[in-house]
Amino acid sequence: MAPSIRLSPAGRSLFDEPLAIAVQGLGPRQQVTLRTSLRDETGELFQASAHYQAADDGELDLARSPALPGGSFSGLEPMGLLWALQPQKPFWRLVKRDVQSPFLLQLEVFEGHGERPGRLLAQAQHERAFLRDGVRRVPVREGRIRATLFLPHGEDTFPGIIDIHGLGGGLFEPRASLLANHGFATLALAYYQFEDLPQEPKELHLEYFEEAVNYMLQHKQVKGPGVGLLGFSKGAEVSLAMAAFLKNILAVASLNAPVAATCIPFSYKDKIIPTVTLHEHKAKATNSKFLDYSDVIDDPFQAPGNQSRIPLEKGEAQFLFVVGQDDRVVKSEYYATEVCKLLQAQGKENFQILSYPGTGHCIDPPFFPLYHIGSHPVFHKRAVLGGELRAYSKAQVQAWSQIQAFFKKYL
């Protein structure tokens, strides 16, 4: 019988779900190369490949067969062909703009382990989707709010989460859409550079974010009495500021956050949190010729009377700090540790830290490719963002399940 690829789920899976891959109909102990390809919405190609040897019966199951040296990865890695995808264009990041359409994954099996692919033995296509059937995507233009709400299938009430992205502006939907598949009413919130929102805000008014909290709590499908916040980088900093000053925030999951105002000051009523100073000359050269900016932010814990640190001790929420030990943009592990010491000194126990080795600044949901060298969010120069392929792939999966468990517990 001719070789064929067997996938489970067969034709379609969610982007953050595992995919079981097997090949049947090979010769006994036949050597083959498996390759995955995916094109993003701009047409840029991402690929990974691995060398395998079939079992005595001609079966090859990636859950039981280790990849041999020479490909994108080696060892027993059932999802390696997904997490090892890398762009053919250097420094390119996989981004999903339209979550209503899936990414199309192409799988191919080639004869042998040569430098160039051998004869094509089998191929298959598979859709990696962002919305489970029945999950609703609702554009929100209420008052000043510019957002998209994702509602899980059904008429029940669901725990509510506001998802806030980092510097760069715009409306970012992939993480919120994936969270909604897991039973959370999730609002992807834009806060600048989107439609009629400010292009270059002089300050971020927490009243805008308060409006989003109130919108969620008034929604008939959002279960009160409060909401959760999930923020990355600048968005995590915004989430921490919301928790310090606003009511009805029950739980905050912060991904690699500065714990002081950076780049754009915060204001709330008559209170201003000024920005911490950035020293671009403190960027360090690395072996890879790209700059490491992890030391450019003034330490908000060292400057006496520092006004830029976010006063988290005022917040009543539960805090989950998710940090990459190899974050080269923000010293996120140091900040999380120091801020938790301050909370502890005030007799508080409303915090936990998840710290991941080999993990850089970008912590995306599972199976997004590692983005370890890219444009610095402030200086717009090529920078080391940090992270190492295999360690990061494990951190993604674990952090994603821990974040969901955290919100289930406290919402």
Instruction: Kindly list the catalytic residues.
Output: 233, 327, 361
Q: Which two tokens mark 200?
A: 């270059």
Classify burial at 402, counting beta carbons within 10 Å of its beta carbon; exposed 0-12, middle 13-18, buried 19 or more. Answer: middle
Rounded distance between C-alpha atoms, residue 390 and residue 30, angstroms: 27
CA-to-CA separations, 53 to 49, 66, 110, 199, 239, in angstroms, rounded: 14, 9, 12, 54, 48
Rounded distance between C-alpha atoms, residue 222 and residue 213, angstroms: 11
| 3 state SS of 362 | coil
Query: Is the preceding peptide bond at 90 cis, omega within 30 degrees of 0?
Result: no
Strand partners, 204: 266
User: Please, what's the b/e burial string for 120-146 (b: 16 or more CB within 10 A of its CB; e: otherwise)?
Assistant: ebbebebebbbbeeebebeebeeeebb
| 3 state SS of 371 | coil
Residues present in the chain in total = 411
Contacts for 109 with CB less than 8 Å, ≥ 6 apart:
3, 5, 23, 32, 33, 34, 120, 121, 122, 123
Dihedral, 229, 232, 237, 238 alpha carbons, nearest 10: -50
Q: Longest Cα pair distance anywhere in the chain, in angstroms?
A: 75
DSSP state of 278: B
Task: State the pairing for strand pair 318-324/351-356.
Answer: parallel
Q: Which two tokens mark 359?
A: 């993990």
| 3 state SS of 354 | strand
Rounded distance between C-alpha atoms, residue 317 and residue 296, angstroms: 29
